Structure formats: structure tokens, C-alpha cells
Chains A and B, each alone.
Chain A
Amino acid sequence: MNTIHAIAIVVLKEMIRRKDFYVLFILTALITLLMGSINIFNDASIAGYLKELALLLVWISSLVMAITTTARQLHAEKELRTIFPLLAKPVSRAQLLLGKFAGCWIACGLSLFVFYLFLGIVAASREQSLDVGAYTVAFLLHWGALAVVVAMALLGSVVFAAPSSNGTICFIVAVGILVLARHLNTVALQMDGVMGKITYAIYYLLPRLDWAFSVRQFLIFHDPMPGFAVWAQAMLFYGSYSALLILAAWLLFRRRALTT
């Protein structure tokens, strides 16, 4: 456990040193504030469009951060050859993967917290009220979904040769899931034969990142968030899916030659 914790701390410190988060945060804040400064029929309390835009930017930023940070972890260790002394400590490959996962996920969570804090401040300044509970649920679901994304990128860094290809593929898959996963069953039912069955199977196999993505609507339209039981099931789903992906990454990584 200490080993995993130590590796995670290293990843976290690296994230703090790098400029990714700062650039993404400043960009998000700038675009949001710029859009907020637009005069819409002299009404400064309109908040829906601003929340929608800010939430979209937060999602994009979080995906970029989670994928790019995770995708380069193993490759950087291999390229700098620091993976050899690390594994000779002794640190097992499973511990290395778990440490990297935990570090990336916690780093994503911390940066996500800053994003949501900013979002809450913007929304509260416009609406003169803030539903902290709703924002907390949205944040936790978002963080849970990022666990799957981080695990997916970690698996990708074992499968793919370069961080760039891994990052691109993970990003396409994640965006595809966010946009299409919810409708895949409708599409499958409109298809005939084997293709329909295959599409339905894919629908069942996909990690449902869209659940966390869709709750943005509740924040925008002030609808009640999902109850605790539903939220807990979703988090359990994300946790289980992440565990499966990490297991798959470990199965592939445990016998893989480290020399490139």
C-alpha cells in the first residue's frame, strides 16, 4: 500500500509541476468569463447558457487532462529508463499500475474540484443561489467516470506504442461513448440481423460515461439529482469497470518486455 501511495504522490507532484492543468483552467475560465460578459437583453441573471458552456468546457478539459496525463506515464518511465530501478526496488508491476492509476485519478479529482468550484462561483454570482448538494453529486459522478477514462488510458499505454496514438484513440472512444452510448440500443433495434445483435452487445459492454455527462442537464434546468441508491450504483459500476480495465492492463503488462 505504501508503495502504491508513493508512486501516486510522484504522479501527483508531476501533475502540479506540469502546465497542463493551469493552461486548461485559464482557457476555460477565460472563455466562460468572456461569454458571461456578453450583454443579453440587459439581463445579467441569465445563467443557463453559461453553465452549459462551462460544464462542456470542464468535461473537455477533464478528458484531455485524464487521458494525456495517464497516456504518458508508462511511456515516460520506459523512455527515461526509470522503470528499471523502479521495478527493482522491489515494486511489482501491479503496484506500479495501481500507483499510476491512483496518482492520475486523484490528480484529476483535485483539478476537477477546482473546475467545479469555479463553476459554482460563476453560477452563484448569476443566480444568487447555489445547490451545493447537486454540484457535489455531479462532481462525484464526473470523477467516477474519469476513473474509467484513466483506467482505459492506462490499458491503452500498455497496448499502443506511443502516447499520441493512445491519447487520440482514448479521446475518440470517450467522446463516442459520451455522445452515442445512450442511443446505441435505439440504433440496434432499427438494425436487422447480426449487425443489430452486435450493436446491442456493444451497447451492453460500453462503460456508461454518458450517465455522468448527462447529469449536467439537472444542473442547468434545476431538476433534482439522482437519489443516493442510483448514484451509488453508478459509482459501483464505474469502480468495477475501472478495476476490470486495470486488471486487463496488468494481464498484458506483467509479461511484457520493457525494452523498446
Chain B
Amino acid sequence: MSAPILSFVLLAVSCFSLATWVGPRFEASQSRRGVGHGALGNMLGDSRKLFADHFFTRSDVYFHSGYYPSMFDKVKLKENHLAAGAKTAKCEHDHAHEGPCEHDHGHQETKPEPKTEKHGEAEHVHGEHCNHGEEETDFLGKPKDYFDGFSRNFFVTKHTHLTEKGTNAAREILPWIKLAAQLDPRKVESYTVGAFWLRDLKRDAEAEQFLREGLRHNPESHEILLELGRGYVARHDYERARNVLEMAFRRWREQENSKPVEEQNRFAAGQILNNLVLVEDRLGHRDQAVSWLGIVRKISPHPEEIDKRIAEVRAGQPFEAQ
């Protein structure tokens, strides 16, 4: 064979070898990055998470009927928080030397507590500006000048919620949540919050479908399983609710048991267990209900209240989820 033909064959073999080496690695890297999930994923790449966050926040803007701080207002609020923090720190210092001072200690958080707030839970739809202090509920403050005062006639300055504007008004939130879920299928909050509002709008079938879609993308999520369980409880489908909630608690244990106590999401565990107790109670399995309450007692900040519940369940009184 002539040299040019041999060179061509060598080149073709080299190309083929290179392709067999590069191909699997490229596919592996694509799947690691989560690229390839639909046209949006391909088009936006990793930036889709930013868009997903934006659209999720947009749903919160809709919930508050447009009354929402801009990024400039957020900077101002942050500065106010820092100022308040500095004031508190100064006060703590003064306490050591001069005695009590009179200002508000609302921001004094020196010791980390286990997570017991509703953040990240389905009921907690609010974004970054939720009400943690007086100044945040009125982030606009007084008009800074005449123009500022006049400008306020042209945008929303009254804090209302969509739910106050009719029984079905909350549905306006849904497109943004769906868009956020499509852009970032790993964002668990999109599914739990979406399902919460769908159930609120009496759209149980859609809520379940949406949560199952979320579970396909996030099989390890105890939050989604909890929401799914809640849906079954609401529909009195206790057997399925028990299966799902038990799986949720297993997932919670897998993920949270290894963490230090103060970092554990105990609020979520409490929610799962409360629902499990309710389910077992409704199914007439009192012993199992008491057994779950025993676990609740271990993680609850108020074990004496749980003791009362245990006594009630043992006495045959119906359990109501707290």
C-alpha cells in the first residue's frame, strides 16, 4: 500500500481510538453537570439554577401582590441589620459593665439552636424578606423626598397577599413555581411549595403528580416524601400515607443523623413523626402511635407536652397533629 493510503488509515484509526476514549468521559461529565435535561437545560447550562432561584422568588413576589424589596432595598435592610447587630453587641458589652439597657434584643442570637423554624418547609413560602424584624415589613420606610413620595403612587406600596384576593387567586403563583422546577429539577422547595398551593386550591391530583415528578429528580428528599404523605393523609389514604411517611423518616435519618444536633432539621422530623402518629392513630394502631410519639419526645424542645399526648393516645382519645 502506498504511504498516503497508510497515513489515511492511521489517521482514521487514531480518530476512532480517540473517540472511544473521549466519548464515555464526555457523557459522564455531561450527566454529572446535569446537562441534557431538556431544551432549557441545554440552552442555559448551570446558569439555569440562577434563573430557577429568580423564578421561585418571583412566585413569592406574586404571593405578596408585588410588595417586595428590590435588591437596593435588600442592601439597605442588610445594613440596618448590621447596625442593629452592632448595637446589640455594644449592649452585651455594656451589660457586663454598666447594667441593663433599654433597647430591643430581638436580634440577639448568640447560641446556635437546632432548626425548629419552618424555613424550607412547604408552609413557608416566603423568600429572603420574611418577617424577622419590624423594619422588614415596611422596607420602603418614609418617603425620602417629594419625588419618592410621588413615585409611590405608581407601584405597589401596600402589603397584601394573593390569598386575600379571592379563593383561587393563589393559582397565579403556580407558573413561576413550575418554571423554577423545570429549570432546576433538583430544587426541592419548588415541588413542596407548589404541592402545598395546589392542595390549597383543592387540586390534589396535580399536587401528587407534581410531587412524584419531584421525587423522580430527588429520590433522597424527605421533604417531598413528607408532602406526599400529607396529601395522602388529607385524602384519608392512611396506608399509603404510612408507607410514604416511614420512607420519609428513613431518609431523614440517613441524612440528618450524622449531623451535629444543632444542625439537624428537627422541625422536618417533627412534622414527619406527627403525621405518622396521626396515621397510626387513624388506623387504630395505638401502640405504634405511642412508639412514634416516644421518638418525637426525644427530639422535641417540650417533652412534657409530648408526655401529655402519649397519655391522651393511651387513654383512647383521638390524636390531632400539631
Is the pair A41, B203 in contact by a Cβ cutoff of 8 Å?
Answer: yes
Is the pair B72, A183 in contact by a Cβ cutoff of 8 Å?
Answer: yes
Q: Determine how close the nearest CB of chain B comes to the CB of A111; give it in whole angstroms.
A: 23
Q: Determine whether A95 belongs to the interface, using a CB cutoff of 8 Å to chain B.
A: no
Instruction: Identify B72's interface contact among A38, A186, A218, A222, CB under 8 A.
Output: A186
Is the pair B73, A186 in contact by a Cβ cutoff of 8 Å?
Answer: yes
Is the pair B151, A48 in contact by a Cβ cutoff of 8 Å?
Answer: no
Is the pair A217, B70 in contact by a Cβ cutoff of 8 Å?
Answer: no
Question: Given that A49-B175, A190-B76 are contacting pairs, would A185 and B70 also be in contact in the complex, using a CB cutoff of 8 Å?
Answer: no
Residues of B within 8 A of A208 (CB): 147, 151
Which listed segment binds A: B40-48, B152-160, B310-318? Answer: B152-160
Q: Determine whether A211 belongs to the interface, using a CB cutoff of 8 Å to chain B.
A: yes
Is the pair A186, B144 in contact by a Cβ cutoff of 8 Å?
Answer: yes
Q: Determine whether A220 belongs to the interface, using a CB cutoff of 8 Å to chain B.
A: yes
Residues of A within 8 A of B168 (CB): 45
Q: Determine whether B165 belongs to the interface, using a CB cutoff of 8 Å to chain A.
A: yes
Closest to A206 in B: B147
Is the pair B155, A182 in contact by a Cβ cutoff of 8 Å?
Answer: yes
The CA of A249 and the CA of B154, in the complex, are separated in Å by 30
Is the pair B66, A43 in contact by a Cβ cutoff of 8 Å?
Answer: no
A-side interface mostly: helix
Q: Determine how close the nearest CB of chain A comes to the CB of B322; give it in whole angstroms.
A: 30
Is the pair B72, A46 in contact by a Cβ cutoff of 8 Å?
Answer: no
Residues of A within 8 A of B72 (CB): 183, 186-187
Is the pair B75, A49 in contact by a Cβ cutoff of 8 Å?
Answer: no
Is the pair A41, B153 in contact by a Cβ cutoff of 8 Å?
Answer: no
B-side interface mostly: helix
Q: Determine whether A204 belongs to the interface, using a CB cutoff of 8 Å to chain B.
A: yes
Q: Determine whether B56 belongs to the interface, using a CB cutoff of 8 Å to chain A.
A: no
The CA of A204 and the CA of B66, in the complex, are separated in Å by 25
Is the pair A41, B174 in contact by a Cβ cutoff of 8 Å?
Answer: yes
Is the pair B65, A211 in contact by a Cβ cutoff of 8 Å?
Answer: no
Is the pair B210, A41 in contact by a Cβ cutoff of 8 Å?
Answer: yes
Within 8 A of B (CB), among A210-242: 210-212, 214-215, 217-218, 220-223, 226-227, 230, 233-234
The CA of A189 and the CA of B206, in the complex, are separated in Å by 48
Q: Determine whether A83 belongs to the interface, using a CB cutoff of 8 Å to chain B.
A: no
Is the pair A48, B206 in contact by a Cβ cutoff of 8 Å?
Answer: no
Residues of A within 8 A of B203 (CB): 41-43
Q: Determine whether B79 belongs to the interface, using a CB cutoff of 8 Å to chain A.
A: yes
- Could you tell me which A residues sit within 8 Å of B by CB distance? 38, 40-43, 45-49, 182-183, 185-187, 189-190, 203-204, 208, 210-212, 214-215, 217-218, 220-223, 226-227, 230, 233-234
Pairs A-B, 8 closest by C-beta atoms:
A48-B172, A183-B72, A49-B175, A214-B155, A211-B154, A217-B66, A214-B154, A230-B153
Additional 18 contacts, C-beta under 8 A, given A41-B174, A185-B145, A230-B150:
A42-B203, A46-B175, A182-B70, A183-B70, A186-B76, A204-B147, A210-B154, A211-B153, A214-B155, A217-B156, A218-B156, A221-B62, A221-B66, A221-B165, A222-B165, A223-B65, A227-B153, A230-B154
15 contacts between A and B (CB under 8 A): A38-B175, A41-B171, A41-B203, A41-B206, A48-B172, A182-B155, A183-B73, A185-B147, A190-B79, A211-B151, A211-B154, A223-B65, A226-B153, A226-B154, A234-B154
